[in-house]
Amino acid sequence: MSDLAIELASVVKTYPFFTLDHIHLQVPHGQIMGLIGPNGAGKSTTIRILMGLVQQDRGEVRVLGRRMPAEQIAAKWDIGFASEDMRLYEGMTLAWHMEFIRSIYPNWDARYAQLLLKRFGLRAEQKIKGLSHGQRVKATLLLVLARRPRLLVLDEPTTGLDPVARHEILKELTAVMTDEGRSVLFSSHNTQDVEQISDRITFIDRGRIIDSMDKEAYLDRWRRLRLEVPSGMALPALPGIIGIRQDGRVAVATANAFAPDMANAYESTGARVKSIETMTLEEIFVANVEHSREQEVEA
Amino acid sequence: MSSSFVISQTDKRPIYLQIMEQIKQRIAVGDWTEGQAIPSIRQLAVDLQVSVITVKRAYLELEREGVIVTQQGRGSHVASNPGLGMRLQQEELEKHLEQAVRLADLLGIRPKDLEARLRETGDRRMEKEGEQV
Amino acid sequence: MSSRVIQTLILKDWRLHRMHILMSLAAGVVALALLQVKGESTFLVGTVWFFVSLIVLGSMVPVSNVVNERKKQNLAFLMSLPVSAVQYAIAKMASTIGLFLLPWGVLVIAASTFVMSRADIPKGIVPLMLILFGLPLVGFCLIAATALVSESEGFTVAATIVCNSWYGLVWYFIIRNPAINGDLTSPVPVWSPTVLTILTGEAAAVALILGVTFYLQSRKREFV
């Protein structure tokens, strides 16, 4: 049994207008991996491939040690999957769905399910068609969480939820971490959620992985430097700087490989460093995507 | 134990720094005492809804500063270190002074004028306390 | 384990279609009642009622049981369960054909009871009856298979229209066949080679349709 919960190696999937290009992804056991990227980047496709719902054209996929999609049945006993485009049966009640899942999975935890009903403010006797969007999302997640699966794969679990519902979901997702043997992979547009609860972050854009690493180390590599530049000088881009915005004598440099001696390096060019700021994941997200698109244009 | 920890989203500092500060604060005011056991990394992560790796980093930094001690298989506890409280508060003061100097600089205020401002602030505070008494 | 999951899926489909099942039984009861009343016209009405209900109820099933699951995006929910595409297909074909077999079975039982109970009806028509009842079954399997494999409501509706419009033609040619209609008036059923060939052919057609369906389903590389 491998020590990785999820492993994608050189995965390629070609569509008429989109290609997933040599995806490498690793999620160790007991960690939360946040997958972020713009719309159409390939997040959902990557997730479908690792669930065995879509077969890759090339490359190896292993989930909980099982090869996908060949061993998908075995894998899916231990995986809880929820995606944004998934729908429950409108005409049936939440209680029916709970019983349906319970009749299939032996490790359904009825007490935890009841607790989740209360926490999420859901009523089991209610039909799915009577639920609001947020309630449906919570219902789908309840069905997945109450099984306590070893791996949770969630495609946009908090999208479209109000702040309270989001908070409830994040609480349950992090609670999963009390068990070291359980892992989570989730994709989200909400960079704040990803920044808060992920152990590792993977950035995907236009079918390519841009970055994939430890979240704290990643956040540490990015800084925004505010500088004052002598009149008439264009601020040089030192190694580790991916972008500079200058207006007259005021400049802002974005570093994606920050080193402590960068401030001194700039001072020696004549510029004055006014402040060095950390960046939120959202700011990093935008800077990263803009940068990688500029590079594509140049190439 | 950790129910009063709050991670601020408007605070621009990284989460691990906020965690460190709140732990140091509890030690500085005496709520957490020398040798006292503190929540495990995983437990705190769950309580705060932050990633394990962030809490791990906070604990590692705190250990490096000698504020806490983590033992393999036995969890973490507050380090036994006399004068620890004083040192922590000194650190706080140093941080605030650095910040004041930086802000003054941005506003174009020189250190000499900053001194004057500092004295003014001190006087104002004494006045307030005088009124209360 | 897998067979239990397949069973659960079949039961789930029947649970979702409980209205259909009730209506089939009701239609059957009505037709049976009509048949009891003596008289040519009620017999005719009863028979026509039967076939119409059969075709109507049968036509709705592939769309409501197969196509809608995909259209209403329930498929992702099901494929997250521990099933493969082939197992899903097995469960789906079984539940769909099962839903058809109910009204069909009621028809067959009612018609057979009627023929057996009436002394004035020659039992020679029994082979023809079986052949005629077999046709909608084969047709339905084809429509259900199309629904599952094509994943398209358009194709399914087209297949339904084509099948339903060909019944008349096929019946016409079968009834005109002297090897069959020659023995209609016989007091006992006559199992001529022609009759047996056609019946075997119908069974083989069902097996072939199912086999091809499962093969094609196993070749699919995307399910949602």
Q: Which one of C4, C5, C6, C80 makes the best mutation probe of the A interface by having the most chain A beta carbons within 10 Å? A: C80
Mean predicted confidence (pLDDT) in C166-176: 81
Token pair of C50 as six digits: 């039967």
Q: What is the pLDDT of residue B133?
A: 42
B68 and B20, same structural domain? yes
Q: Ranked by mean pLDDT, which of B79-83, B107-111, C26-30, C208-212 comes out on top?
A: C208-212
Whether residue B93 lies inside any domain: the answer is yes
Whole-number pLDDT of residue C10? 94
Is C152 in contact with C88 (CB distance < 8 Å)? no
Chain A positions touching chain B (beta carbons under 8 Å): 30-32, 167, 170-171, 174-175, 177-178, 180, 192, 195-200, 214-216, 219, 274-275, 277-278, 280
Is the per-residue pLDDT at B82 higher than 50? Answer: no
Predicted pLDDT of residue A118: 96
C83 to chain A: which residues are within 8 Å by CB? 73, 76
Average pLDDT for C194-222: 92
- CB within 8 Å of A202: residues ≥ 6 apart: A25, A33, A34, A35, A36, A209, A211, A212
**Cα–chain center distance at B46:** 21
Contacts of A259 (CB under 8 A, 6+ apart): A240
User: Which H or E run includes C167?
Assistant: helix C153-176
The answer on B60 and B38 residing in a single domain is yes
Distance from CA of B112 to the nearest CA of A (A): 20
Instruction: Return d(Cα A286, Cα A205) in angstroms, integer.
Output: 11
- How confident is the model at residue B48, as a pLDDT? 92
Domains present along chain A, CATH in parentheses:
4-215 (3.40.50.300), 223-278 (no CATH)
- Residues of C numbered 194-223 whose beta carbons fall under 8 angstroms of chain A's beta carbons: which are they? 221-223
Share of chain B above pLDDT 90, in %: 22
B69 and B89 inside one domain: no
- Touching A (3+ Cβ pairs <8 A), the chains are B, C
Predicted pLDDT at A98: 97
Q: Is residue B1 part of a domain?
A: no
Chains A and C touch (3+ CB pairs under 8 A): yes
Domain termination site, one of B78, B93, B116 = B78
The larger pLDDT score, comparing residue A233 to residue B133, is at A233
Query: Has residue B3 been placed in a domain?
Result: no
C-alpha–C-alpha distance, residues A184 and C29, integer Å? 54
Shared domain for B74 and B103, answered yes or no, is no
In a domain, B95, yes or no: yes
Q: Tell me the CA end-to-end span of chain A in Å, nearest whole number.
A: 41
**Residue B53: per-residue pLDDT:** 94
Instruction: Looking at the complex, report in whole angstroms how far the Cα of residue B52 sits from the nearest Cα belonging to chain A.
Output: 6
Average pLDDT per run of 10 along chain A, which is 299 residues long?
86 94 94 94 94 93 94 94 92 96 95 96 95 94 96 93 92 90 93 93 93 93 93 88 91 92 89 91 91 80
pLDDT in tens, C102-154: 888 877 887 788 788 777 778 888 888 888 888 888 989 999 999 999 988 89
Show Cβ contacts of residue A266 under 8 Å, excluding neighbours closer than 6 positions. A225, A227, A235, A238, A253, A273
Q: Tell the residue number behind the tokens 């039982």, with chain if given.
A: C109
Contact list in B for residue A30 (CB cut-off 8 A) is 52
Q: Are residues B45 and B60 in the same domain?
A: yes
In order of A18, A275, B9, C60, the CA distances from C144 in angstroms are 33, 68, 55, 10
Task: Give the tokens for residue C46.
Answer: 């009863």
Q: Is B93 helix (H, G, I), strand (E, B) or coil?
A: helix
Q: In chain C, what are the domain boundaries?
A: 2-219
Both B23 and B71 in a single domain?
yes
Q: How many domains is chain B built from?
A: 2
User: Could A89 and C16 be called an inter-chain contact, meaning their C-beta atoms sit closer than 8 Å?
Assistant: yes
Kindly state whether residues B29 and B74 are assigned to the same domain: yes
Query: What integer pLDDT is reported at residue B1 of this predicted model?
Result: 65
Q: In terms of residue numbers, what domain contains B34?
A: 15-78
Chains near B with 3+ CB pairs less than 8 A apart are A
Summarize the confidence of residues C22-41 as an average pLDDT: 76
What chain A residue is nearest to C9 in terms of C-alpha separation? A100
Complex-level ipTM: 0.84
Longest dimension (CA), chain C: 58
Q: Which of A54, A76, A87 sits opposite C80 (nearest CB)?
A: A76
Q: Which residues pair with A183 in a beta bridge?
A: A151
For residue A222, the model assigns a pLDDT of 95
Asked if A76 and C81 come within 8 Å (Cβ–Cβ), the reply is: yes
Report residue A49 as tokens.
């491939």
Q: Could you tell me the CA-to-CA distances from C48 to A179, C55, C142 in Å, in that order?
A: 65, 11, 23
Q: List CB contacts (< 8 A) between B16 and chain A.
A: 216
A vs C, Cβ pairs < 8 A, gives 63
Q: Are residues B21 and B71 in the same domain?
A: yes
Asked whether the predicted pLDDT for residue C88 surpasses 50, the reply is yes
